[in-house]
Amino acid sequence: MLKRATRLVWYGVAALLILAALLLSIARLVLPLLDDYHDELQQWLTQRVDHPVRIERLDLGWHGLGPDLRLLNTRLYDRSGEEVLLRLEELRIGIDLWRSWRQGRLVSNRIALQGSELNLIRREDGRIVLRGREHATPILNPLTLAAEQPRIALTDVTLGWEDRYLGHPRVVFRDIALRMRNRGERHQLHLQARPAAALGQTLELQADLVLPPGQRERWHGRLYLNAQGFMLREWLGWYLSDRWYAGGVLDARLWLTLTGGRIEAAQGELAVHLPVLSSRERAAPLLAGNRLATRLLWNRTGAAWRLSLDALELIQADRSWPRTGLTLAMAPPDADGRRLQLALDALPLELLQPVLPLLGEAAGTSLDLTALSPQGWVRDLQLGGERRSGRWHDLRFKARLEALAWQPQVRLPGLSGLNASLIGSPERGEIELELTDGRLAAPALFRDALPIGRLAGRLRWQQEPDGLQLYSERFALANADLGARGQLRLQLSRDGASPHLSLQAEIERGDAAATGRYLPAGIMPEKTVRWLDRAIVSGRITTGRVDFHGRLADFPFAQGAGRMEIRARVDDAILDYHPDWHRIEELDAELVFINQGMHIEAVDGAILGTRLAEVSADIPDLKRSRLRVQGQVRGPLADMLRFVQDSPLARRGYDLGQLQADGQAGLALDLDLPLRRTHGGPARVAGRLELQDNRLVLPARDLALEALDGRIDFTDTRVSGSGLQARLWQTPVRLDLAPHPDTPGLTRVRLAGRLPLLERLGRVHPPLARYLTGQSDWRIQLDVGRQAEGYPLWIESELEGIGIDLPSPLSKPADATLPLRLQTRIQAQGSGPLYLRLGDLHAALELSDAAEGPLQLRRAMLRFDAGAAELPDGPGLELHGRFDTLSVPAWRAVFAAAGKDAALPALDLREAALEVGRLRLFNQSLADVSLQARPVLGAWRIDVDGPDIAGRIAVPRGDSPLPLDLDLDRLVLARGGIDGAGADLDPARLPPLDVDIRDLTYGSLDLGRVQLRSQPLAYGMEVESIRIEGGWLRLSAQGNWTLRQGREASRFDIELQGSDLGRMLTAFGYSGNVEGGATHGQINANWPGAPMDFALKAVEGTLDLRIGPGQLVKLEPGAGRVFGLLNLHALPRRLTLDFSDLFKRGFAFDRIEGSFTLIDSNAYTQDLVIQGPSARIDISGRIGLAEQDYDQLVTVTPEVTGGLPIAGAIAGGPAVGAALFLADRLLGRQFEEMASYQYAVTGSWEDPVFRRLNREEPGAAPAGTAP
């Protein structure tokens, strides 16, 4: 049997092979003839599709066991034959010979398409047509055609797709590759495509489906979809309205299960890169991030379905949210609707921030949900409800809230740190609260967020016909400020009326300093809140209770519509009840608030350390009323004065800030104070101060009242006290206080006693005090009160018993009276202007503030006449009046002793108009001087006029670089001054000098015009030039005048020229007469002291002298009249240039020349020559300028050579004359020297000793040769 069967098989196979070979041979013979049917095929296709068809080439090949028909470059045109509707590069159709033989028609077994471009349109009726044939009748169903083909392969295909059924715009897929295998009802395909760049990157579809024709309910299979880089903006834009925008790049992998003709299950992975979802009506996106990913699981059971998103993850730019899960289930619909359930593992509320505006619109609430800025987590959320008739019904929810926080709104307080579990529905439910380290912010009630250390309790809500009820039967609240337990009920009315609150709480502990934080300031009067903020500074609340019943809008229940009562026991508290009064400290009291009133009953307390007794405080109405504080204290007087000084009483005149006090005193006080300055008028004060052996000190004035006894009564408007006894500077005084007789609010203080004011003055200013001696009775009056201009002060005395040892005109003996009245105002910074009258002196003075350093005069006016003194308009000093005698040196000595600058007064002179009978200045006495002074361009211009002086003086002001300018028409100076001494001046303190005196008289010496220029040095002054130009004298000099380490010195180079030596000697006070003798002298010298201290005996340097022809008069007769010079009484006078003994025609000279060295009070010369027509006198040696003695050698040589021949001719005849002439010419000078005489001169100037030297004696120089 088996053998036979095998044989039959082999026969069959052989027969098939033979048949196949035969058919193959026939086909190969027929295929070359197929091209002959090219046109017939094009025509047949054109008729079938009703559009022109062009086939470039028709080819038939063999593939496997059958022929393979290939159409190359086939085109389908529109009816006009111009536009290509379909392009097929290469279409291969495999012919199944066996099926074609069996069915009697050509049957394909494979279709392969390469390089095609299709444009398909899904019409509104759902049919798919080729673009360009939208209105043509389909000739075949492409899906049916595809399903009938065993195998289909597409490569390099471009597909354009336009879905008019769904309203999608045209999209293009490129590089399509499709492999499809069909076996009866089973269809398998694998599709790969590349969408346009704007749509995505790649698309892959795999399917294994069983699709029985006409039996959709039996369709089943599996699909796999892989989409990478799909642009959601393009794909979702087709479905979203213009209001919404969605973007991102989608990567998706989905596995789908098809059962019964529909998708029954799906699972997959979705990831969106850079996801964004926004509303075009809002700037901020609803959702934005870097990546959104999840695992999807969806299945359907009948009419119900369930969607689960597992590992749902969102990564944003600033954070990565933990993964969560979401489940959404829809129950099968029933007659009433469909029920939806949602479960969420966790949701960060921050993600809802962008969505809140939409939720608010959907809920129809007026709350600004965006401003809530919720934070925290919702965990284990379960939400269910039924959707009926477009509305939700029977909503139920359950969830846990962790770290919940939101910002406050007008009608919704903000909260942070809340953990809660809630269950319920919109109608009723409850929340189990547990809050740790949180904050409650309710701007409508509290100014700042309230810290909550711990809050525990259960809050229930219940919708009632008239509104929502919130209530808690127990709650506990604690933080660093307080601890309390209580219960509350809050009713929210549907009609918008103010909420009604019932609250009962027991305060277990509390910090009074934090009271202001918990005041419901939003519903309290502003003034009440401000007062409570200030008043309750600190304290410890040991027990207390709060009861509140009423509508919040009615608080503080002025009309009795509710009640608020707070009672608290406070220990060690500080009550700052008024900003103008010292607070109460260490207060133990009961504090009671009932509605808008307050009462404090103190058990103990202190003000400024002083213990209180019987103190109470009441405010009947915190909004409008006043504070009444009553009490008695006994303690340090200093604390009581400080209490008054720091209160409004100081502004009303009780300025006690500079007072210091010692000792104990008693004070009774009744204060009636407004809570606000604008309410109820000013503060009203009444009090009594009992003083006993107290001490009051005013350090700024160096005043101290000792042993002060008496009583002072005061109110807010007046102070009085009579006969108070005290001691001031160890002297008994009487003190009286009374209201001012004319000005309300002022208090007049009188003090009388024999006060040692001069002794006090000596401590303040010892140099001035030594000019004042003795004691006198004094009267002092001071008006104190609220005066912006200060307190008027009067000091009066007759000065009987006080002597004044000052220069005229202020001198006074002690037994005489000289009325003194001083008036000023005591101000916060020193005193006001001083107005002084002392005899005929009227003065107005203004001192600098003490804060600016030592007291100095700012401006002043002194009048020494009957006129009243007034303060000048600006800084400086004004002087007016007449003086019989004014001694500038005497007053300079006074100022120097007082520590003033004697050379340049610190106070600038503004104006002076003085008449001085005798002005003593710089060691000169000037008579009847009229002086006018005023400031001009950085200097004082002083116009002076009088017999001894006339002209203008410009004195530089302050640090001005201008010189001291003396521009005088005349100046008469006494020789040697009025006391024979020079002026005591410091050259370093003198400004530059610019002196021009057109007529200077010095003693009896008329010097003519004198000019001087100088510049200051660091240690003195440099005299650039001195010029004297008189009718008989010209002098020029330059040098310097210095003062170093207290030693004064002058150094000058002087050049002197005179036309008449005799007149010059007479002018400078030398006796004797010289006629003629033009003189030129040059002195290079220095001497100790000022330039005015010039004296030959003190000078060191050199003197060169050149004198022209002249006559020494009153000579004694003698040979050649020259020997009169040898008179023992005459020569000293010759040597000192005093020729008073010459008489008659005198001694004529042609020249006098010589040089001197001045040193150690001596003058040394080696070359003094007096050359005359009759003799030559040579002098060498020393002249003692201090000892006034001589040590000289004098050689007298008669001029005989020129006259001998004439004399001899007359006396001895021509022969003798000729001999003498010949001797004169041959011997010359030697002949004259043979006739010279030498004398040694010693002794004093008054009694010199002449000793004639013999010719045999050596003519050596005398012992007085210059060193």
Q: Is the pLDDT of residue 21 over 50?
A: no
- Residue 14: other Cβ atoms inside 10 A: 10
Pair of tokens at residue 126: 């759902």
Residue 29: what pLDDT?
A: 46
Of 147, 113, 116, 140, which Cα lies nearest the Cα of 45? 140
pLDDT band at 549, cuts 50/70/90?
very high
Residue 939: what pLDDT?
A: 82
CA distance 403 to 439: 11
**Higher model confidence: residue 1148 or residue 403?**
403
Pair of tokens at residue 18: 């033979």
**Most trustworthy range by pLDDT among 37-46, 537-546, 702-711:** 537-546
Sign of CA dihedral 287, 293, 294, 299: positive
Query: Is residue 664 within 8 Å of 652, Cβ to Cβ?
Result: no
Query: Is residue 594 within 8 Å of 565, Cβ to Cβ?
Result: yes
* Displacement of CA 1140 from its chain's centroid (Å): 89
Q: Provide mean pLDDT across the span 425-431.
A: 89
- Give the contacts of 30 (CB within 8 A, at least 6 positions apart): none
Q: Is the pLDDT of residue 1079 over 50?
A: yes
DSSP state of 189: E
Any idea which of 282-291, 494-503, 847-856, 1091-1100 has the lowest mean pLDDT?
A: 847-856
Half-sphere exposure of 1133 (CA within 13 A, CB side): 22
Residue 540: what pLDDT?
A: 92
Q: Cis before residue 809, ω within 30 degrees of 0?
A: yes
CA distance 10 to 13: 5
pLDDT band at 1014, cuts 50/70/90?
very high
Torsion of CA 921, 926, 930, 934, to 10 degrees: -20
Residue 309: what pLDDT?
A: 92
Q: Provide mean pLDDT across the span 15-42.
A: 53
Residue 677: what pLDDT?
A: 62
- Give the contacts of 185 (CB within 8 A, at least 6 positions apart): 210, 211, 212, 213
pLDDT, tens digit, 9 for 90 and up, residues 854-887: 556 788 898 988 788 898 888 888 889 888 888 8
pLDDT, tens digit, 9 for 90 and up, residues 887-921: 877 776 776 665 554 333 456 678 889 899 988 87
pLDDT band at 429, cuts 50/70/90?
very high
Residue 1041: what pLDDT?
A: 93
Residue 250: what pLDDT?
A: 93
Torsion of CA 1071, 1074, 1075, 1081, to 10 degrees: -110
What average pLDDT is seen over the chain?
80
pLDDT, tens digit, 9 for 90 and up, residues 1207-1248: 333 333 333 333 333 334 333 444 455 457 888 989 888 888
3-state secondary structure 550-600: EEHHHCCCCCCCCEEEEEEEEEEEEECCCCCCCCEEEEEEEEEEECCEEEE
Return the exposure string of 231-267: e unless at least 16 CB atoms fall within 10 Å of the residue's CB, then b.
bbbbbbbeeeeeeebbbbbbbebbebebeeeeebbbb
Q: Residue 12 corresponds to which amino acid?
A: G
Q: Which strand (E) or helix (H) includes residue 76? A: strand 66-77
Give the number of residues written for the chain: 1267
Token look-up 């050698």 returns 1193
pLDDT, tens digit, 9 for 90 and up, residues 203-242: 999 999 998 888 888 889 999 999 999 998 888 877 777 7
pLDDT band at 999, cuts 50/70/90?
very high
pLDDT, tens digit, 9 for 90 and up, residues 588-608: 888 888 888 888 888 888 888
CA distance 589 to 569: 6
Pair of tokens at residue 824: 């000023």
Q: Residue 712 corresponds to which amino acid?
A: I
pLDDT band at 37, cuts 50/70/90?
low
Token look-up 């990913």 returns 293
- Residue 409: other Cβ atoms inside 10 A: 18
Of 924, 907, 899, 1049, which Cα lies nearest the Cα of 988? 1049
The fraction of the chain above a pLDDT of 70, given in percent, is 82
**941 three-state secondary structure:** strand
**Higher model confidence: residue 139 or residue 954?**
954
- What pairs with residue 249 in β-bridges? 231, 273
Q: Is the pLDDT of residue 1120 over 50?
A: no
Sign of CA dihedral 131, 137, 143, 146: negative
Q: Residue 325 corresponds to which amino acid?
A: G
Q: Which strand (E) or helix (H) includes residue 1135? A: helix 1131-1135
Of 383, 396, 386, which Cα lies nearest the Cα of 336? 386
**478 three-state secondary structure:** strand
- Give the contacts of 690 (CB within 8 A, at least 6 positions apart): 665, 666, 667, 711
**689 three-state secondary structure:** strand
Residue 9: what pLDDT?
A: 39
Q: Provide mean pLDDT across the span 625-648.
A: 81
Q: Residue 847 corresponds to which amino acid?
A: L
Query: Is residue 133 within 8 Å of 48, Cβ to Cβ?
Result: no
Residue 977: what pLDDT?
A: 62
CA distance 869 to 838: 12
Q: Is the pLDDT of residue 1084 over 50?
A: yes
Residue 221: what pLDDT?
A: 93
Backbone angles phi, psi at 935, to 5 degrees: -80, 135
Q: Which residue pairs, CB below 8 angstroms and at least 24 apart, start in 325-331? A: 329/304, 329/305, 330/304, 330/305, 330/306, 331/304
CA distance 153 to 180: 7
pLDDT, tens digit, 9 for 90 and up, residues 1135-1172: 333 333 333 445 688 899 999 999 988 999 999 998 88
Q: Is the pLDDT of residue 3 over 50?
A: no
Going from N- to C-terminal start, the domains of the chain cover 754-877, 1051-1200+1235-1253
Residue 925: what pLDDT?
A: 86
Any idea which of 79-88, 379-388, 1056-1065, 1203-1212 has the lowest mean pLDDT?
A: 1203-1212
Pair of tokens at residue 169: 């715009």
* Displacement of CA 666 from its chain's centroid (Å): 49
Residue 1212: what pLDDT?
A: 34
**452 three-state secondary structure:** strand
Pair of tokens at residue 9: 């098989």
Q: Is the pLDDT of residue 1101 over 90?
A: yes
Q: Residue 516 corresponds to which amino acid?
A: G
- Give the contacts of 1202 (CB within 8 A, at least 6 positions apart): 1224
CA distance 397 to 426: 9
**Most trustworthy range by pLDDT among 627-641, 652-666, 1057-1071, 1169-1183:** 1169-1183
Query: Is residue 976 within 8 Å of 1004, Cβ to Cβ?
Result: no
Pair of tokens at residue 859: 């401006």
**Higher model confidence: residue 1141 or residue 659?**
659
Pair of tokens at residue 734: 């009487």
Query: Is residue 780 within 8 Å of 752, Cβ to Cβ?
Result: yes
In angstroms, the Cα distances linking 1226 to 1203, 1230, 1232 are: 15, 9, 12
Q: Cis before residue 556, ω within 30 degrees of 0?
A: yes
Token look-up 């208090």 returns 747
Any idea which of 119-133, 184-198, 444-458, 496-510 has the lowest mean pLDDT?
A: 119-133
Of 88, 82, 85, which Cα lies nearest the Cα of 55? 88
Query: Is residue 772 within 8 Å of 758, Cβ to Cβ?
Result: yes
**Most trustworthy range by pLDDT among 133-147, 148-162, 286-300, 820-834:** 286-300
Q: Provide mean pLDDT across the span 1020-1048.
A: 91
Backbone angles phi, psi at 1171, to 5 degrees: -110, 120
Nearest 5°: the CA angle 800, 803, 806 is 140
CA distance 283 to 289: 16
Of 470, 441, 439, which Cα lies nearest the Cα of 455? 439
CA distance 1141 to 1127: 9
- Residue 653: other Cβ atoms inside 10 A: 19
Of 116, 95, 117, 94, which Cα lies nearest the Cα of 106? 95
DSSP state of 374: -
pLDDT, tens digit, 9 for 90 and up, residues 319-363: 888 999 999 998 887 766 778 899 999 989 888 888 777 776 766
* Displacement of CA 1012 from its chain's centroid (Å): 56
Q: Is the pLDDT of residue 701 over 50?
A: yes
pLDDT, tens digit, 9 for 90 and up, residues 921-959: 767 888 999 999 888 887 888 899 999 999 999 888 767
Residue 657: what pLDDT?
A: 67
CA distance 608 to 585: 8
Q: Is the pLDDT of residue 40 over 60?
A: yes
Please classify residue 881 by burial: count the beta carbons closer than 10 Å to its beta carbon, then call 0-12 exposed, 13-18 middle and 19+ buried. buried
Token look-up 């989905």 returns 254
Query: Is residue 1090 within 8 Å of 983, Cβ to Cβ?
Result: yes
Q: Provide mean pLDDT across the span 254-274.
A: 92
Residue 504: what pLDDT?
A: 93
CA distance 801 to 815: 6
Any idea which of 366-370, 675-679, 883-887 has the lowest mean pLDDT?
A: 675-679
Residue 294: what pLDDT?
A: 94
pLDDT band at 653, cuts 50/70/90?
low
